[in-house]
Amino acid sequence: MALEKLGKALNTALRKLARSSTVDEATIKEVVRDIQRALIQADVNVRLVLQLTKTIEKRALEEEPPAGASKKEHIIQIVYEELTKFLGTEAKPLEIKERPTILLTVGIQGSGKTTSVAKLARHLQKRGYKVGLVCSDTWRPGAYYQLKQLVEPFGIEVFGDPEEKGAVKLAREGVEYFKSKGVDVIIVDSAGRHKEEKGLIEEMKQISEAIKPHEVILVIDGTIGQQAHNQALAFKEATPIGSIIVTKLDGSAKGGGALSAVAATGAPIKFIGVGERIDDLEPFDPKRFVSRLLG
Ligand code: GDP
């Protein structure tokens, strides 16, 4: 797993620091170089890597450790803090405030959207919410059956009609249907098959106007590396409400790239997909993520 590799490389750099007998400028520079190399190998944007490591180096060279902490401990703390900041600082959990809370998911076909919708439904169900899913993907009739197959074992209902061609109509009817059933959360899954993002965003806007979601969630494939930046940006410009799920962070060589690229847009990443199974979804918390990465 690529992120594991990044974690190992960062760990090696920090262990080298822990083992060194003195912490002088040369040691710090060497550690910073190792961190740089690890991040670049994980496909993190070079400019961002340079910025980040410059800050780490400056702080490590200039700051005095707080009382009770050694120089080494302090440098490790700096690396931890700066990496966390780099990935967005605070966790922004998905909030279910109103009943029903309506969520709209968008994303390019193949991004892992359908799987993520099923995972999210299961995640919320495990937390005690009654969830209804609406499939408004009129481009791919199979989407409805795929979603149904994923969540049926858990008794989660899917509203859809593979014959229907009006995505907005389906979305609206689905929301009405689940409102009448008294569910806590309604997730509307929109189509992902559009040649260009413009068509996708246009449909998102139309559905959005029809169902007035509390939050639009964009699903981005974590294997596309730094291109994730532009996708996230286009989406962020199209809608003020929005959060992001970055998928496939289990298998990609570019996981670090996608994650940091999305974080750089300032759009909150709320979940990451870490596998193909329905339980392979994790709430994204930069602090916890970096702690785990550094071991
Ligand atoms: P959609 O076209 O965006 O709806 O994409 P799908 O949900 O059908 O997913 C496309 C492929 O990606 C499927 O084979 C999924 O099993 C796979 N996939 C989705 N999320 C993840 C993930 O987090 N990790 C891995 N390894 N595979 C994923």
Q: Kind and range of the H or E element at 259?
A: helix 255-264
Beta-carbon contacts of 161 under 8 Å, excluding residues fewer than 6 positions away, are: 144, 170
Q: Which of 4, 276, 281, 282 to mutate to test the pocket of ligand 1 (most atoms within 8 A of CB)?
A: 276
Determine if ligand 1 sits within 6 Å of the CB of residue 282: no
Q: By alpha-carbon position, which residue is closest to atom 28 of ligand 1? A: 276
What is the per-residue DSSP string for 122-170?
A: HHHHHTT--EEEEE---S-THHHHHHHHHHGGGT-EEE--TT---HHHH
- CA-nearest residue for atom 16, ligand 1, is 276
Q: Is 111 in the pocket of ligand 1 (CB under 6 A)?
A: yes
Ligand 1 atom closest to the Cα of residue 118 is 7
Provide long-range contacts, Cβ within 8 A and 24+ apart, for 144-153.
146/114, 147/114, 147/117, 147/118, 147/189, 150/114, 150/115, 150/118, 150/278, 151/118, 151/121, 151/122, 151/278
Measure 247 CA to ligand 1 centroid, in angstroms: 7
**By alpha-carbon position, which residue is closest to atom 5 of ligand 1?**
112
Look up tokens 């490591």; give the residue. 53
57 Cα–ligand 1 center, Å: 39
Residue 195 has pLDDT above 80, yes or no: no
Closest ligand 1 atom to the C-alpha of 115? 7
Average pLDDT over residues 87-101: 92
* 145 touches ligand 1 (CB under 6 Å): no
- pTM for the full predicted model: 0.91
Which residue has the CA at smallest separation from atom 9 of ligand 1?
112
pLDDT in tens, 213-268: 999 999 999 999 888 988 888 888 877 678 999 999 987 667 888 888 898 888 89
Say if ligand 1 is within 6 A of residue 274 CB. yes
Two tokens, residue 224: 């596309």
- Which residue's entry shows tokens 């964009």? 218
User: What is the pairing mode between strands 269-273 and 281-283?
Assistant: antiparallel
Q: Establish whether residue 141 lines the binding site of ligand 1, counting it when its CB lies within 6 angstroms of any ligand atom.
A: no
CB-ligand 1 contact for 283 (6 Å cutoff):
no
- Ligand 1 atom closest to the Cα of residue 146 is 8
Q: Whose CA is nearest to atom 13 of ligand 1?
A: 112
Report the separation in Å between the CA atom of 111 and the middle of ligand 1, taken as the mean of its atom positions. Answer: 6
105-163 pLDDT tens trace: 998 889 999 999 999 999 999 999 999 999 999 888 799 999 999 999 999 999 999 99
**pLDDT value of residue 194:** 63
Considering only 24-38, 44-58, 121-135, 186-200, which range has the smallest mean pLDDT?
186-200
Which pLDDT band, with edges at 50, 70 and 90, does 34 fall under? Answer: very high
Burial class (CB in 10 A: 0-12, 13-18, 19+), 145: middle
275 CB near ligand 1 (under 6 Å): yes
Other CB atoms within 10 A of residue 71 CB: 17
pLDDT in the model for residue 126: 97
pLDDT over 90 (residue 22): no
What 8-state DSSP symbol labels residue 63?
A: P
Tokens in use for 228?
């994730």
